[in-house]
């Protein structure tokens, strides 16, 4: 169970509630699991598990067309799967919010994660997405709040990158 006082994912959940985000989509990811669990327990938030991240972009755009606010949770490796789909909210001026758990940074053990981890900010910026970054737990809530307000107030796309330093690096266990 998530500690409701100390876990920074509760700060993201609080922003979702405060800003009436009622749909959250995700590809399963350990960094987002406590937040996903909080959202799944909330009868006012529809949680959609995806098989690929680009489907979440279309789902978010459809949610907006239906009068809902949404957020897409993904890992930095998933950003590469979304590049073409990210044109839709940009061209149509649909507010789009994504929260990205970073890989390929702090203590990474999988070389495959490094290129997309390094490229994620540049890819998002190339698709005209405003990038916000949280490196420390105490700034997560205010960063997600600023990004969400930016997206919903300006009908633009915003991404919050959650540092791997904060999330923690996975490790292989020998033996």
pLDDT tens track for 2-18: 444 468 999 999 999 99
Closest CA to 70 of 54, 82, 57: 57
According to the model, what pLDDT value does residue 106 have? 73
Confirm whether 172 is domain-assigned: no
4 in a domain, yes or no? no
CA distance linking residue 62 with residue 101, whole number of Å: 24
Give a yes or no: residue 2 inside a domain. no
96-132 confidence digits (pLDDT tens): 999 999 876 777 677 777 778 888 999 999 999 999 9
Residues 6 or more apart in contact with residue 139 via CB below 8 angstroms: none
The answer to whether position 3 is within a domain reads no
Nearest Cα to Cα of residue 25 among 62, 60, 67: 60
- Domain residues for 71? 9-167
The answer to whether residue 24 is domain-embedded is: yes
List strand residue ranges (DSSP E) for the chain, in order.
21-26, 46-49, 69-75, 96-101, 130-134, 157-162
Phi-psi region of 29 (alpha: psi -120 to 50; beta: other; left: phi over 0): beta
In this predicted model, what pLDDT tens digit does every residue of 55-103 receive, in sequence order? 999 999 999 999 999 999 999 999 999 999 999 999 999 999 999 998 7
Is residue 99 within 8 Å of residue 144, measured between CB atoms?
yes
> Could you tell me if 138 and 112 are in contact, meaning their C-beta atoms sit under 8 angstroms apart?
no
pTM, to two decimals = 0.91
Q: Is residue 44 part of a domain?
A: yes
Residue 174 in domain: no
> Distance between CA atoms of 120 and 134, rounded to whole angstroms?
14
Between the alpha carbon of residue 8 and those of residues 37, 49, 140, 164, the distances in Å are 14, 22, 6, 14
Structural domains of the chain, count: 1
Residue 175 belongs to a domain: no
CATH at 157: 3.40.50.970
Backbone angles phi, psi at 88, to 5 degrees: -60, -55
């Amino acid at each position: 169970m998530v500690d409701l006082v100390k876990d920074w994912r509760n700060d993201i959940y609080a922003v979702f509630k405060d800003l009436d985000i009622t749909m959250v989509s995700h590809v399963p990811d350990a960094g987002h699991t406590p937040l996903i669990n909080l959202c799944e327990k909330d009868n006012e938030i529809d949680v959609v598990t995806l098989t690929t991240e680009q489907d979440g972009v279309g789902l978010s755009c459809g949610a907006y067309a239906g009068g809902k606010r949404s957020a897409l949770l993904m890992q930095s490796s998933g950003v590469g799967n979304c590049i073409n789909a990210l044109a839709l909210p940009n061209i149509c001026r649909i507010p789009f919010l994504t929260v990205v758990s970073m890989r390929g940074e702090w203590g990474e053990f999988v070389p495959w994660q490094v290129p997309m981890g390094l490229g994620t900010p540049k890819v998002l910026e190339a698709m005209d997405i405003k990038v916000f970054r949280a490196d420390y737990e105490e700034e997560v809530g205010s960063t997600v709040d600023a990004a969400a307000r930016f997206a919903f107030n300006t009908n633009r796309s915003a991404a919050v990158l959650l540092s791997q330093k904060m999330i923690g690096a996975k490790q292989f266990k020998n033996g």
